[in-house]
Structure 1
Amino acid sequence: MAGQPDAVGFVGRDEELARIHAAAAAALSGQARLVWIEGPAGAGKTALLDRAVGELTDAFAVVRAEADELSAEFPLSVARQLSPIEASDALGAGLQLLEGIVELQRQGPLVLVVEDLHWADAPSREAILVAVRRLGQDQVLTIVTSRPENPDVDGWERLRLDARRCEPIRVGPLTVTDVIELASGVTTLSTAAAERLHRHTAGHALYLRTLLSELRPDQLAASEGELPAPRSLAATTAARLAELPVEAQSLALALAVIGRPVKLAIAARVGGVEQPTAALEHLLETGLFAWRHGDTGSVVGFAHPLLRAAVYADLPPLRRQRLHLAAAAALGAADGLAHRVAAVDGVDDALADELVAEAERERSVDAAGSAARLLLWASGVRSPGPAADRHLTDAVRLLFHDGQLARAAELRPEVETSGPSPARSLVLGTLDWEAGDTAAAEAELRAAAESTAPGFAAEATEANVLLARLLALQGRGPEAIVAAERALSTPGLPTRLEHLAWLGSALGVLMRDGGPASVAHLSTRLPQPAPEVPADEVDLLVARGAINYFAARPAAASADLRAAIALIRAGAPAAELHRAHYQLAQSLVLTGDWDEATIHARTALEIVQDQRLVSLRVQAHCVLASLAGLRGQWTEADEQLRLAADGAAPGRVLEALMTPMITRATIARARGDWAEALRAFEPLLGVAATRSGVRLPMGTSLEWWSMVVSAAIELGDFDEAARQLELFDRAAAERGIDLSVQLLGLRGRLLAARPGATLTDAENAIGLLRQAIAQETQETPVLTRIELHRWLGRLLIARGGRREGLDELRVAHRRLSELGAGPELARVSAELEAAGADPGVPTVSPLSALTERETDVAALVIRGMTNREVAGELYVTEKAVEYHLGNVYAKLGLHSRRELRALAHST
């Protein structure tokens, strides 16, 4: 808010301004930068921000968002100040905000200002982070101000500490020289007098400005003795206001109670001020207030929230109450509720009823955060008892739905002291689950789910939904199905809970009967082919894609998940976007689309970091580790596996147990270390599993078991290989998973490999391998297809069919070369050489010299995507794509997309 020019102006901060200008210069050159201005309340963050932005406006357009103490109650209220946003979730809002920034950039360089991020609502903080993290080669300078108490707000810490992208500025005390300059508008200070004032205020900018406005020049100029002004800002501010005319004081007190900038006429009505303009004139002379004049009249407020807090804290209780009642009358029914709550003496059940009614209206328009705030107020003014407790638990449930998990956790002590009820159990169970205490969560959720207490049917249903998912993720399928079916039998089940209940039910069937049965079960609810699924059922489509993966149908999984991602990009809810990208990456590893798999795994990992989700971090790192291992990038593989291990949460879900095992074995297989591949599965299949009673989960694709059998064959333990092969066959039949191609190939390989194998055995083995190749489908993993040709080629050569055998080996060699599977390619090349054939010089991909992001951009351009489509695929801006594509051209000596595609297709 602009104010009248005051006697005490801006001083110092030359180094800070220079660093902001340097960041701006980088942004102008096409390297987006973040400036993080941090300091305690009143340190001068806003003054520095305003000066810096004022000096940059000739080169930049400015878009500004400002949070205040009320912002946390209104989801996405701060983010929507920067750009129009229709999404209701943080990730979707962040991606829409990024689109808005892209459009604004088309008009020139841009400064995004977010003031007082610490006060912003959590979805806004996450959404803005999503957008800012994806700014790369963009002419955008983002400036954020925040207090230092909790710098790691919703994952910003990682970006804040990235020296390549962020310029952190700590606003510290002003110097003695700054004090002399600051005071020059009031009086001339000697060094000794300035040192005394500096010592008294510790260089705190707001304290200095307040004292310079409040004290006489002779008081300031003295170099010895204690300053006569009080040391506290509150007392100093009160003393300054006490000198003003009564109407000016009344206007100031009204503004303190209203708590935000407001029209002068409204503030005057609250304070009973008859001549508000004259009163405002006196307030502005103090330097404690600011104003702006617009088309609808003057808007006035405190120059800094600390000043407002100081005045409000000094108000006597009775006058504060009267002013709150006056504010309630002046601001209208909805805006006045907060002031009526602040004015309550004890309890007011009638007001509680109004708050609950307003909360219902807010809930009806999906404003869960606002509804939660109103219910919390209602719980505070309601007579103690079950009704007040119900308001509290309803409020916490709404906070869960709104994504305000930290705020919900803060209210746990109050929930624990409320009376026993299914609602209380539901809230505590949800909090326990979020905290990782699954045993406590199950006990509380089960108590809520099985309750028949009248009036708590909705809580019991929601508890059943959550319980179903918790039990399913622990592998307890039958129990999960029972809980999900209880929820689904509820008449009028809300859409959100109906989808979650179906997910719990499908996961339960997955864990009880296996993937194919689960897909069939979910398809009774979602029978449409992927392109026909409506946007509001995208979460079910993601679930079907994920379960298709566990049904050993990677191609079907890819179709579902690609369609889901397209729906989300078009505006569908983005809550499951991280799962869609991760599961698609897993599926693409099997189908052989490794470049695209890498892109989706990296994207999933970025989304997990943006949203501070940990449930899929392990799996995303595992996909990247497997791909690196298959390509022979051992350092990268080991690093990604280490990152996966660091993020693991043992015992929480089976997926987090299985994926690292499979990844470890995949890397060992690529290295040719078959003993290590077997050891990777020891916790699941070996002696350790037998002793601990671990049972192979039904919810697994079983694709990995081929590695177990192959390892035993390679190590010469043919009896163990036969035993594992029969277990594999039995497990596939039990789950209804069609793995006939893999089983036929392994049987043929084992038959030929056994010591003493006869000519008939060899012929039968060749027949089994050919039968397996004939039965291949699009769902057969690419490495399985390659191995079948390799095994068949080796066996044919050994039987004297050199020409036909070489043809089979060359098929394997060509496909491995296309994949970039370096270690396995080297082994097949050696086999070709041993058979007297020239394998040729292995081709090195021209993209191998590119960075990760350059590789991703190049891969998508080669597929025929435009820059805009590539930007959408990677969730970055078009300028970033243009930058990376320019680097690709420079490194490869190319000039066009056509040349890039030609180069890729020639290798």
Structure 2
Amino acid sequence: MTAPTTVHSSRGFVGRTEALTRLRRCAGEARGGRPQAVLIVGEPGIGKTALLQRYATELSDFTLLRAVCDETEADVPYGLISQIVASVAADAKAFPLFSTPLPTMAAPYQVGGQLLGLLGRLQDSGPVAIVVDDLQWADSESARTLGFALPRLWADQVFVILSTRPGTPGGYDPDSWLRLAPTLEPTSLLLGGLERSDVAQLAQESGKTLNPILIDRIHQHTGGHPLYVRTVLADISPATSYPVGPANTLPVPQVLSDAVQQQLARLPEASQRMAEALAVLDVRSPLVTVGVVSGVDDALGALEPLLSAGLAQWWPSEVNTPVQIHHDLQRAAIYERIAPKRQRELHRKAAELSNGDDVWRHLVTAAEGADERLATELEKRAGEEAARGEIQRASTHLLWASGVSATDAERERRVLTAAAFLQWGQAPARAEPLRSAVETCSPSPLRDCVVARYALSRGQFAEAERLLTAALKASEKSQPLEHVAVLAASGLCATHIWDGRGDELFKVSRRVLNSERRDALSELQARLAHGFAYLFTRGPREAAEQLSRVADLPRDPERATTAHAPSLLWRGAFWALAGELNVAVRELSVALGFARAHASPMLDCKANAYLASVQYLLGSWDDAAINAANGVTIAFFEERPWSYCQTHMAASLVASGRGEWQRAAAHIRQCRQWWEAMGPEQYVAWPALAAAVFAQAQEDHPGMLRALQPVLGLPERGWRMALRPWWLPLYAEALIGSGRLAEAEPVLQEIRELAREVACLGVISFGLCGWHAHQRGQLDAARDAYEAGLNLPVRGDDVLMHRAFLERSLGRLLIATDSPEEASLYLNHARSRYATVRARPFVERCEADLALCGLPSTSRTPDYFATLTHREQDVARLVGQGWTNQEVASELYVSSKTVEYHLSNIFAKLQLTSRRQLMRLAQQRSDMVG
């Protein structure tokens, strides 16, 4: 897609005074560091492009990034973004995605992050304007990239101007993501018809002098629609320019397409043939090519009447002097008048002179019915594209192949394969429009696999399993297994991971791994399933070891490759459940690095969620908050509903611990709603854990019990057992705090046994046993348990909240035994640990306990960062570690100008004047809380 530069046209720009005034006001706001976005909405031909071209001439002080979307390239990933970044020279080191053609497998949030960085860099030279025409034809990756980046502009000198039609294809609504950008103050500008005075000016500029009566009639008849008006003016001859009475009729039909056809009929035959060729080519094409396709010897001579009639555009200063029909409406009207036989003839000629996708488009259109040879070629091309990760283009070519297939069976197979490509290629939204076509296909194992994936997307797990089981049974009769059997088995791997059935996982994963027909994605699914089978049957430690073997995963995560990234993510998660928390952080961090570098949204969401959860346990709450927020952001913008539940759970943990009740409750509400919407049943553990931690922070032990009931209702296998290190201590605390001491005894015994395998549970095991004894009045036994826990060697994998719980519990016991000085020692230790992570509710409870001792808490340096907003705290912490603005912006998915904005607020609130002072303050804070 290349934006036109020089257009051979005599038509001028008129009117639009109000629209230009609003655009100028927005540009002034953007110059002042208040980013703006204007969405120009109008019917085809109403003048959106003319307005953009006219206004762009006023942006001489802006760095102008321009793009024009094209319907024929809506399937080309990042076509729009490629145009935008091609306007400037991007630093290959800082923005590696923009130094070469954008990789089709890049994720929109990743590209959006680099676009934010580029916009920040460009603003060093002044304000920036992004102008995009015909947004309704934007490829989905580019649209989502803009949807990710634009809401993250905060204090940027950026002006975004977009044009689109009302009612966009595929349900895509540009205005919806503009509304997500409160800092952009988005404006919708609805273009209507021209004013009467504008019609008069157009007539004058076209060399026609018309009396006021005729001007009124033209304006009334066309509604001021610019394309209609120009069509009328082009057809008015001197003989009709001076009507003498109301009986005089205008040479304009009721419908524009009729007007265009009549207009064309008045042109020389060579010009008509030229117009037909242009309508068939449907892209900017060299004039010579148009001449050959049309069969016109004097192409330039035939072009002149088309230019004069306003039916064509010409770029004579460019190489090959390309030409194109002026507007889509005109092109459609011309194409409609071409006889079917002539259409096919022109498409065949066009195919001989075209390249890329255009060749196949013309060949398919030119086909006179079934053409199995062509269908086979398209299917072969689709397979090659799918192997390169070009899933959407591959599915398009398969659908074209289905249209020229020789039999219904071949047509259905290709439709089903196209849907499968999109589903297995993580593009479920693009597969949705094919659902009705899929459901009308004849019964087959492949149809069952595809329909099962649709069922999974709706959370219908039982139906999905039934279909996949039937598909596997029907297709495994042949040896070796057909590829559809591999798809069915890998689909069953997913369903059994969700429902936690380890024995079934062993069976289906081995079927895939033993098949010679497995593809890379199915093999990866089976390897992971094999690891989960060990998790559900033999525990997380053996699962981590087995996954290392089956995935050929190096022990050292730094030696892993991109291909290892998904396995590395899950091995890190298994190590977390085994209590090897620092190992888990290292492996999850490396996996997250791969996800960011090579754009895997699923991997990114999961890595962020698990990493944030482990960092919460270790006491790295600031890091946990950033990673959890990134996980929520990426899951939302990449439309990964399976990740919403877990990412919101992770985001709730720190908010609950710090007493940010509204923020935590909002995440828990989202977590629960998405679990109810998506399932599966086993994932109820995520909202249950989130709600239990929330109640724990409020010291609401009955509330903790209520929150955990759904987990207790799960079968005693699968996820309930795998997640015991996370929920079992909460359950014991809830029982003891609610006075249900007898019920707590077997739970405490289970924790003691589990602590032999999960060493980081040792401290909390003694802490809970001591509290249980204290509640039963067994004070000596309680003290023995507490001291045994304190005497455990300090490990890097210790859970901060566990040791603080034990210290506070011992302090409270010493208060009860009238040892206030000794009690204050342990209470101050606990208070200090809670203060390190700014766990306000827990700190306040320690201070209330210290007041009972009659002794003050130990002196402490105030946490000045507490006066900052959440985002300011993130920026302050990273800058305090020596990060540059660009590095901070990349980490937080904002622009460098936004970082500058937050830094100015931080300096003002903390009364600082330099980054060095902020770094010293951050170090003091780190020493204080450490």
| C-alpha contact 1:252 1:283 (8 A) present in aligned 2 | yes
Report the CA distance between 1:273 and its aligned residue. 0.9
| Alignment correspondent of 2:540 | 515
Q: How far apart, CA to CA, are the structure 1 residues paired with 2:543 and 2:54? A: 61
- Alignment CA distance shift 1:413-1:172 (3 Å): same
Summarize the Cα distance change of 1:872–1:285 in structure 2 as closer, same or farther, 3 Å threshold: same
Letter in 2 for 1:452: E
Q: Which moved more, 1:553-562 or 1:657-666?
A: 553-562
- Residue 554 of structure 1 contacts residue 779 of structure 1 at CA under 8 Å; is this kept in 2? yes
Measure how far apart 1:652 and its partner are: 1.4
How far, CA to CA, are the matches of 2:47 and 2:521 in structure 1? 46
Cα pair distance change 1:429/1:892, threshold 3 Å = same
1:352-380 CA distance string (max 9 Å, x none)? 23323333443454433333222222221
What is the CA distance between 1:817 and its match in structure 2? 1.7
- Opposite residue 732 of structure 2, the aligned amino acid is V
Whole-angstrom distance in 2 between the partners of 1:408 and 1:831: 59
CA distance in 1, matches of 2:906, 2:614: 28
Structure 1 contact 468–480 (Cα < 8 Å) conserved: yes
- Which of 816, 821, 845 is the aligned partner of 2:863? 845
TM normalised by structure 2 equals: 0.90
Contact 2:476 / 2:482 at 8 angstroms: preserved in 1? yes
| Equivalent-residue separation in structure 2 for 1:643 and 1:586 (angstroms) | 17
Give the structure 1 partner of residue 150 of structure 2. 132
* In 1, Cα distance between equivalents of 2:920 and 2:467: 61
CA shift, 1:763, in A, is 4.7
Q: CA deviation at 1:68?
A: 1.4
2:32 to 25, 29, 32: 29
Q: CA deviation at 1:889?
A: 0.8
Other-structure match for 2:798: 780
Structure 1 counterpart of 2:20: 17
Name the CA distance, whole Å, in 2 between partners of 1:694 and 1:542: 22
- Please list, as runs of the form range in 1=range in 2, the aligned pairs for 1:856-871 lying within 5 A after superposition: 856-871=874-889
Indicate the residue corresponding to 1:658 in structure 2: 685
Question: Distance between the aligned counterparts of 2:45 and 2:177, measured in 1?
Answer: 26
Change (3 A) 1:252 1:505: same
The TM-score normalised by the length of structure 1 is 0.92
Is 2:500 the partner of 1:485?
Answer: no
Q: In structure 2, do the counterparts of structure 1 residues 481 and 107 end up closer, same or farther at CA, with 3 Å as the change threshold?
A: farther
Matched residue type, 2:773: L
SS at match of 1:568: helix
Aligned counterpart, 1:682: 709
- Does residue 215 in structure 1 map to residue 248 in structure 2? no
1:335-360 CA distance string (max 9 Å, x none): 42221211111212222233233334
- Contact 1:32 / 1:137 at 8 angstroms: preserved in 2? yes
Question: Aligned match of 1:203 in 213, 224, 244?
Answer: 224
Aligned pair in 2 of structure 1 residues 380, 86: CA closer, same or farther (>3 Å)? closer
Q: 1:114 aligns with which of 105, 111, 132?
A: 132
Q: Distance in 2 between matches of 1:111 and 1:852?
A: 30
Q: Match of 1:490, as an amino acid?
A: S
Corresponding residue number in structure 1 for 2:107: 90
2:361 paired with 1:338: yes
Question: In structure 2, do the counterparts of structure 1 residues 637 and 762 end up closer, same or farther at CA, with 3 Å as the change threshold?
Answer: closer
- Asked if 1:458 corresponds to 2:458, the answer is no
Q: Which shifted more, 655-664 or 304-313?
A: 655-664
CA distance in 1, matches of 2:888, 2:434: 44
Q: CA deviation at 1:154?
A: 7.6
Q: Mark the CA change 1:207 to 1:442 in structure 2 (over 3 Å): closer, same or farther.
A: farther
In the alignment, which residue of structure 2 is the partner of 1:751? 773
Q: State the AA in 2 paired with 1:153.
A: Y
Do 1:82 and 1:97's aligned partners in 2 also have CA atoms closer than 8 Å?
A: no
Which residue of structure 1 lines up, in the alignment, with residue 178 of structure 2?
159
Q: Paired residue for 1:180?
A: 200
SS of the aligned residue for 1:230 comes to coil
Q: State the identity as a percent.
A: 33
2:66 aligned counterpart, secondary structure: strand
Matched, 1:293 2:316: yes
Q: Which moved more, 1:641-650 or 1:66-75?
A: 641-650
Residues 678/14 of structure 1: CA separation in 2 closer, same or farther (3 Å cut): same
Opposite residue 234 of structure 2, the aligned amino acid is S
Aligned to 2:604: 577
Say whether the 8 Å CA contact 1:65–1:115 is kept in structure 2.
Answer: yes
Alignment CA distance shift 1:732-1:44 (3 Å): farther
Give 1:364-383 correspondences, 5 Å limit.
Answer: 364-383=387-406
How far apart are residue 237 of structure 1 and its match? 0.7
Output the CA distance in 2 between the equivalents of 1:333 and 1:169. 37
Task: Give the corresponding residue for 1:65.
Answer: 67
Q: Give 1:412-427 correspondences, 5 Å limit.
A: 412-427=435-450
**Partner Cα distance (1:453, 1:413) in 2:** 29
With over 3 angstroms needed to count, the CA separation of the structure-2 counterparts of 1:650 and 1:408, relative to structure 1, is closer
- 1:570-609 per-residue CA deviation (whole Å, 9 max, x = no partner) reads 4464541122222221111111111121111111121122
Instruction: Report how many aligned residue pairs link the two structures.
Output: 897
1:274 partnered with 2:292: no
Q: What secondary structure does 1:838 align onto? A: coil
- Provide, for residues 126-175 of structure 1, a one-character-per-residue CA deviation record: whole Å limited to 9, x for no partner: 23333334333333322222222148628861334645312222223333
Which residue number corresponds to residue 604 of structure 1?
631
Give 3-state SS (helix, strand or coil) of 2:205's partner: coil
- Could you tell me which residue of structure 1 aligns to residue 76 of structure 2? 74
- Structure 1, 658-667 or 99-108: larger mean CA deviation: 99-108
AA of the residue aligned to 1:518: A
Aligned equivalent of 1:741:
763
Q: How does 1:883-894 map to 2 (within 5 A)?
A: 883-894=901-912
User: Residue 784 of structure 1: CA displacement?
Assistant: 0.4
- 1:481-880 maps to which residues of 2 (within 5 A)? 481-491=506-516, 493-524=518-549, 525=551, 526-571=553-598, 573-650=600-677, 652-654=679-681, 656-685=683-712, 689=713, 697-729=720-752, 739-755=761-777, 757=778, 759=780, 761-771=781-791, 774-799=792-817, 801-839=819-857, 844-880=862-898
**Deviation readout 1:471-510 (Å, 9 max, x if unpaired):** 2112223223322221122237443332222223323333
Whether the 8 Å CA contact 2:645–2:672 is kept in 1: the answer is yes
Deviation at 1:268, TM superposition (A): 0.6
Rounded Cα–Cα distance in structure 1 between residues aligned with 2:711 and 2:602: 32
Would you say 1:471 and 2:471 are equivalent positions? no
- 1:404 Cα deviation from its structure 2 partner: 4.2
Instruction: Verify the 8 A CA contact 1:71 1:78 in the aligned structure 2.
Output: no
Per-residue deviation, 1:19: 2.3
Aligned equivalents of 2:237 and 2:512: distance in 1? 72
- Deviation of 1:857 after TM superposition, in Å, equals 0.6
**CA gap 1:403/1:145 in 2 versus in 1, 3 angstroms:** farther
Identify if the C-alpha distance between structure 1 residues 256 and 456 changes in structure 2 by more than 3 Å, giving closer, same or farther: farther
C-alpha deviations, 1:830-885, integer Å up to 9, x for none?
21121121115776532233233222111111223222221221122322222221
The answer to whether the 8 A contact 1:564-1:580 is kept is: yes
For 2:645 and 2:887, the matched residues in 1 are separated by 29
> 1:256 maps to which residue?
279
What CA distance in whole angstroms lies between the structure 2 residues aligned with 1:462 and 1:279? 56
Computed over aligned residues only, the root mean square deviation of the Cα atoms, in angstroms, reads: 2.9
2:370 to 347, 361, 383: 347
Please give the alpha-carbon distance, in whole angstroms, between the structure 1 residues aligned to 2:816 and 2:429: 66
Q: Which amino acid aligns with 1:448?
A: A
CA deviation profile, 1:299-323 (whole Å, cap 9, x unmatched): 0001211211111122111111111
- Equivalent AA in structure 2 for residue 476 of structure 1: R
